[in-house]
A = this chain, B = another copy of it.
Amino acid sequence: MIKNIPDLQEKLHDLLLSQKDSITQGKVAEYIPALAKINPQLMGVCVATIDGNIVGVGDYQQPFSIQSISKVFGLVMAMNRMGDSLWQRINMEPSGQAFNSIIQLEWEKGIPRNPVINAGALLISDVLASHYSSSKLAFLTFMRSLANDDNIHIDQNVYQSELSHGNRNAALAYLMKSFGNIEAEVPEVLNHYFTQCSISMNCQQLAQSLLFLANKGSDPRTNDIICSRQDSHRVNAILSTSGMYDQSGEFAFSVGLPAKSGVGGGIVAIVPNYGVICAWSPPLNNYGNSVVGMSLIKSLAHELNLSIY
C-alpha cells in the first residue's frame, strides 16, 4: 500500500489516462431514459484512507446515480435495526444467477439468496419500510450524515424513470409477498427501493462514507460506531462473494477486494484497514459493471498489492 499521497495521486492520474480507450468496450445503461443520456466520457476515481487522506482524479467530484451501491447502506441500516433476526428472512450465499433472476427466488420459496441481488435489496427495503415511520427520509439522513453533506438528494428524474420501468422488481416483490416474506405493501417497498437507488453522490462522498467498512465498523473521521466490528466483517464478506453481480467470483479472483457496483457506472471497493476506492465511468460490460471502473480498481489493486487473499 502507498502511504505517500503525491505518489498515489500520480498513479491514479496515470491509470485514468490509460483508460481512455476502454470506454468504447462498454455500453451505458439503457433500461431507463434518465441513465441512458449520461455522457459516457465522464470518469473519475477517488481513494479515501482511514488515516484521513483523500486522493482523487478526473470527475471524482461529479455526482452520479449510485443505484445498487445503495444496497450496501440499506443492508447496514437493516442489520443495525434487526440484529441477527434479519437472517431468518434472507440468506448470505452467492447466487450463481443474474442479479434480477426470479428463478432462484421461486426455488428457495421467497428467501433471497443475499442482500445485494435485487430480490434481497427489495427485502431489505421492506424491512426499512416496515420499521421506520419514513424509511426514505431515514435513508437520506443516514447518507447525508455519512457523507457529511446535507445537499445529497434524490434525483427525481431518475426516480420517476425507475418507477415506470420497475415491472421486474415488482414481480420479484410480489413473488416474495406470495411466500409471506414481504410485510409492507409492494408499492411502498418499490417506492423505498427506487428512492435509495436514485440518490446522487460523487466518488469522494462514496469513498468517505464507506470508510467504516475498512475500519472495523467505526468512522475514522468521527470515531462514531456505524456498525459492529463483526457486522463490518460480515458486510465485506457478502460484498466479496456477491457484490459484483454475476462477475463477483472473477472480481475476487482478479482483484481480491470486497466491492459493490451500480448500473450508474460506480464501483466501490473496500481495502480493510486501509481505505476505500471509488471509481466511476458510465459504460457497462455485459454483467452490468463499469468497464473502466473494473479496470481502474484492478490495476490499482495489482500495483499496490491490495488483495485480501
**Interface contact B94-A104, CB-CB below 8 Å:** no
User: How far apart sit A248 and B92, CA to CA, in the bound complex (Å)?
Assistant: 9
Chain B residues whose C-beta falls within 8 Å of the C-beta of A93 in the assembled complex: 94, 96, 246-250
Most buried by B among A236, A250, A307: A307
Query: Can you report 27 A-B residue pairs in the complex whose CB atoms are below 8 A from each other?
Result: A92-B252, A93-B246, A93-B247, A94-B94, A96-B96, A96-B97, A96-B104, A96-B113, A103-B107, A167-B174, A167-B175, A167-B177, A168-B174, A168-B178, A170-B170, A170-B178, A170-B186, A171-B178, A233-B256, A234-B253, A237-B309, A238-B252, A241-B248, A241-B252, A272-B309, A308-B308, A308-B309
Chain B residues whose C-beta falls within 8 Å of the C-beta of A232 in the assembled complex: 309
> Cβ of A202 < 8 Å from any Cβ of B?
no
**Interface contact A249-B241, CB-CB below 8 Å:** yes
Q: Using CB atoms, name the residue of chain B closest to A242.
A: B249
**Interface contact B171-A174, CB-CB below 8 Å:** yes
Chain B residues whose C-beta falls within 8 Å of the C-beta of A95 in the assembled complex: 94, 96
Closest 5 CB pairs of A and B: A96-B96, A94-B94, A236-B309, A93-B249, A167-B178
Chain B residues whose C-beta falls within 8 Å of the C-beta of A242 in the assembled complex: 94, 249
> Cβ of A101 < 8 Å from any Cβ of B?
yes
Chain B residues whose C-beta falls within 8 Å of the C-beta of A250 in the assembled complex: 91-93
User: How far apart sit A186 and B103, CA to CA, in the bound complex (Å)?
Assistant: 21
**Interface contact A308-B272, CB-CB below 8 Å:** yes
A222-278 with Cβ < 8 A to chain B: 232-234, 236-238, 240-242, 246-250, 252-254, 256, 258, 272
> Cβ of A43 < 8 Å from any Cβ of B?
no
A157-185 with Cβ < 8 A to chain B: 167-168, 170-175, 177-178
**Interface contact A106-B96, CB-CB below 8 Å:** no
**Interface contact B103-A307, CB-CB below 8 Å:** no
Chain B residues whose C-beta falls within 8 Å of the C-beta of A97 in the assembled complex: 96
Number of copies: 4
User: How far apart sit A174 and B173, CA to CA, in the bound complex (Å)?
Assistant: 10
User: How far apart sit A178 and B166, CA to CA, in the bound complex (Å)?
Assistant: 8
**Interface contact B175-A171, CB-CB below 8 Å:** yes
Q: In the complex where A253-B234, A272-B309 touch, is A241 in contact with B177 (Cβ < 8 A)?
A: no
> Cβ of A218 < 8 Å from any Cβ of B?
no
Chain B residues whose C-beta falls within 8 Å of the C-beta of A167 in the assembled complex: 174-175, 177-178, 186
> Cβ of A114 < 8 Å from any Cβ of B?
yes
> Cβ of A102 < 8 Å from any Cβ of B?
yes
A285-309 with Cβ < 8 A to chain B: 307-309
User: How far apart sit A178 and B92, CA to CA, in the bound complex (Å)?
Assistant: 27
User: How far apart sit A93 and B247, CA to CA, in the bound complex (Å)?
Assistant: 7
Distance of A233 from chain B, by nearest CB (Å)? 4
Q: Using CB atoms, name the residue of chain B closest to A236.
A: B309
A71-124 with Cβ < 8 A to chain B: 91-97, 101-104, 106-107, 113-114
